[in-house]
Structure 1
Amino acid sequence: MDIPALVASASLLQTVKYINVASGAVLVFDYFQTLGMEVEFIWTSEWSIAKVLFLLARYTAFVDVPMVLYYALAPNVPHRTCHLVYAVSSYSTALGIAFSEAIMILRTYALWGNNRKILIFLLTYLGVIAGPVLVILTFFLRSLRYGEPPLPTITGCYPTEGSIILFADFVLLISLETIIMALTLWIGIKRFRHSHNRLVYTLYRDGIFFFVYLFLISAGNIIVLVAGPPEYVDLLNTFQRVMHSVLSTRVMLHSYLSERSTRRSTEKLAAKEHPDAEFNRTSSIVPGRLSKGMYFTVTSVAIIVLVESGHVSSLYRHENCELSHFSKHHPSYPIGCTHTTPRISYLILR
């Protein structure tokens, strides 16, 4: 390889390193920007599937991203170490993206009113493509060969050979995200287009943004792997991994913020209407029970029922809800809301 070609190759590799470093900076910046919300909403909450997925999607990135930076920037790395570091970071990246997609599956399941068929379908599809993704990744890792950097200014590991088969993983990823997006659009148009509920709007909006951003990154990865120079094999991998972590965890944090905003605004409305009433907040969608006296039962999505002397005197709600049958002769009869919105709050936020 002549000198101009070596300089051009080194320049391309340097671009990849710049993007990897920038991706790491985005991860750290987002972490500290949202740490306060995480402490308030995640650390203090009870353990649940949603909480576990959040922590896995968020903190596995702090395993593989530093390894990628070491792989790209450390001087005089042995070839065996290059293989090991790249393999571990690649499998960690695949798992982290899977956790992020699981959060979006959970969100879609909630938007569909806890439809078990939707959940089973999406989880099955995720499981079906997980096998081929790992097989393709393994073949790609085995195809890598390393050599000595041709110029002393090139730091980190220097791959000399590698297959482009990795693009197939991004095709499979796009297929899953396209299905999730189609289900989100369908239920949004069908059921929530006239909704004024802040939580539903946030889940719907964030889901669309999540899909658009990551679809473009995945498409860019496919184009680079198929048509780009070999030096660009890792151009967008770390960036895509970071954005999966950042966007999926923000979907959950924004859901918490929306729920809190909705609850506070409804409490203010109720307090203004009935300043002498006593508030009884519930942390789940388990219906409250009516009893004599005046009090509020506030669910996690701010469905408020005012009860006075054993009968319903006022009702404030953000969605059309069907209340359980109520008999004034049975003041302790349970009352609640069967609309899907409380289920969304219960699933995503609890």
Structure 2
Amino acid sequence: METEYSAATVLASRSLQTATYIYTSMATFWTYGYACSFQEEWSFLLRSRWTKVKGLYIVARYIPFLLFTSHLYMNFIPDENPDKCQMINNVCSCFSLISIVCSESFFILRTWALWNNNRIVLVAMLVAFLAVGIASVSVLFTFNGTAPFETNAIPGITGCYQPSDSVELFLPFILLFALELGLIFLTLIRALQSWRTARNPLLTVLLKHNVFYYACGLFFSALNILTSLLLTDAYRNMFQDFQIVILAILATHMHLHLWHADRIIHGSDAVVLIPLSNSSASHNIMVAMPGTAPP
């Protein structure tokens, strides 16, 4: 005799399956990308100087592996204990926060470099970054604790999800959207100021990287806000970690590309100096990239 399930239970089951497919696809994509860039990446790790930014690169590059491992464990291992799902989700949230902090830190340093290491710009960016980080942590762990996880009743469908009434989880993405909007404005303003006078190819690469990174961040933040508000069950969260992983991949690959471009131009691990202006009052700045250190 077949058991009949409610429409809500069937919808929740499909959302869990979709989320599992997305996480599996992301893990495959990340592994494929790592395999394709294995030689270049290890060349960078072995030949570049050990600096704090290089440590930041390593954390940003490999934290998605821990994030995928935790999520795939939660999605594939049969478990009917919502409390255990809550604990694993908290661990995943920590990994996600570490990843997004590292990724954004790269481009905050780059934006600061574009502004000739202006302390006022740096302080403004750090204050905004800290405010967004503290508010996001508060929202994530407060509402994750008050929105308990549920498991699916249909046999063969593993994983767990939060009920549809935990809509407050879209708030961190609104904050991230506002932060990245401010950072892309700073980048565009500096690009317009230096476009006619700067003739350095690495500066062009740096500006393109910043604009593309922030554009992707804005797009995925808007997407996550819409899915959190309009969709239900596991559908609501299916692109959240996707955004974090994509930004981590972009940040690390762009820094790897910039490092190799510098080696091609200079033929060594020399510090990259980019003149942002030809005026006598201007000065060269060092691009905040892994593997370089001031002379």
TM-score strictly above 0.5: yes
> Which 5+ residue runs of structure 1 have no aligned equivalent?
265-280, 285-299, 304-317, 324-337
Paired residue for 1:220? 223
Find the partner of 2:118 among 115, 118, 122. 115
After superposition, the C-alpha distances for 1:165-209 in whole angstroms (9 at most, x for unaligned) are 111100111111111101110101111355332211111101111
Paired residue for 1:249? 252
Paired residue for 2:199? 196
CA deviation after TM superposition for structure 1 residue 282, in Å = 7.9
Paired residue for 1:240? 243
Find the partner of 1:211 among 199, 203, 214. 214
TM-score of the two chains, using structure 1 as the length reference? 0.75
Q: Is the 8 A contact 1:181 1:208 kept in 2?
A: yes
Letter in 2 for 1:256: W
* 1:89 and 2:92 are equivalent in the alignment: yes
Paired residue for 2:64? 61
- Select the structure with the greater relative contact order (CA < 8 A; seq sep ≥ 6): 2
Bigger Rg, structure 1 or 2: 1
Give matches, 1:1-350, under 5 Å. 2-160=5-163, 163-193=166-196, 195-264=198-267, 283-284=270-271, 300=272, 339-340=283-284, 343-344=286-287, 349-350=292-293
Aligned equivalents of 1:139 and 1:46: distance in 2?
A: 41
CA deviation after TM superposition for structure 1 residue 4, in Å = 4.3
Taking a change above 3 Å as real, the CA distance of residues 258 and 193 of structure 1, as seen in their structure-2 partners, is farther
> Which 5+ residue runs of structure 2 have no aligned equivalent?
none
Aligned equivalents of 1:348 and 1:198: distance in 2?
A: 19
Aligned equivalents of 2:112 and 2:28: distance in 1?
A: 32
Aligned equivalents of 2:288 and 2:23: distance in 1?
A: 36
Q: Is the 8 A contact 2:161 2:233 kept in 1?
A: no
Paired residue for 1:271? none
Amino-acid identity (%): 27
How many pairs does the alignment contain? 290
Give the match's secondary structure for 1:155.
coil
Higher normalized helix content (fraction of residues): 2
Letter in 2 for 1:344: V
Taking a change above 3 Å as real, the CA distance of residues 282 and 260 of structure 1, as seen in their structure-2 partners, is closer
Aligned equivalents of 1:348 and 1:129: distance in 2?
A: 28
TM-score of the two chains, using structure 2 as the length reference? 0.88
Taking a change above 3 Å as real, the CA distance of residues 206 and 195 of structure 1, as seen in their structure-2 partners, is same
After superposition, the C-alpha distances for 1:186-244 in whole angstroms (9 at most, x for unaligned) are 10111135533221111110111111112111111001111212331321012011112
Higher normalized strand content (fraction of residues): 1
After superposition, the C-alpha distances for 1:51-81 in whole angstroms (9 at most, x for unaligned) are 1211121122221221011112211253222
Letter in 2 for 1:39: W
- Superposed CA RMSD: 2.7
Aligned equivalents of 2:79 and 2:277: distance in 1?
A: 65
